Structure 1
Amino acid sequence: MSGWEPVTVTRYEYDDAGRLEASVTEREPEWSRADIESLIAFREAQRVGPHGHEMSVAVDPLGDPSNPDREWDWVVPLPVKDFAQEALDREKKRYSETYPDADMGALRWRVEKRPSQTGHNYSRRDIKN
């Protein structure tokens, strides 16, 4: 996938009189293990649409709103807010403003969950429905 060409090596075998008996050509694989793993991951990601459903289900006529014999309806509930992503976006913006020449694409960010500084350290188990 990276544009390289596989190496080809040909080995010649001769008899005692110097005549060619055989030639064997070996070619290294075009796909490395990393290439194959990347392709599998890419294909797996393509199987699921941005809505979280497999594309084969998302385009199935049994879910088509114009189909009077449809078996299901698509319902979109209100979105949820991703607080971890919000914190990440805020820090990335602050960093890029502080270091305008930083190569933001080369930085790898992680978000850590830590106890709150507000004094409210509830877990989901502590909150009653």
Structure 2
Amino acid sequence: MPTEQERKEVAVAYCERVTAGDVEAVLELFEPDAVIEDPVGTGPVTGHAALRDYYRNIVDNYRSRVEPGEPRGSHEDTFVALPIVVSATIDGTTSSVNSVDVFEINDAHRITRMWAYWGPSDIR
């Protein structure tokens, strides 16, 4: 089981890889059957093929930058929460989204699930 610190490092690496625009490096952090819901309530994105399309859209169309806050561990062996600010450019206008992302990380130090908690009032 990854330590709390190792789980936090995976979450921060996720932010770095999204910001770098390296979709394949982002996918390396996920199990092949991983599920994300970003934001929670919009439905799941499941598996590497769907995740590749999802992150390719973020990189190509929004030029997203993800700035992590201080990761938070848990007494569970699998979870870490990370407050983040995502800056995205749409049609020449940059917006920021405040989110809290929760990652479930397995023994292989890979993400099995991710939930992003943000809503319309969190966009600036």
The TM tier, using the shorter chain, reads under 0.3
Which structure has more RCO (C-alpha within 8 Å, separation ≥ 6)? Answer: 2
- Indicate the structure with greater strand content: 2
Larger radius of gyration: 1
TM-score relative to the length of structure 1: 0.19
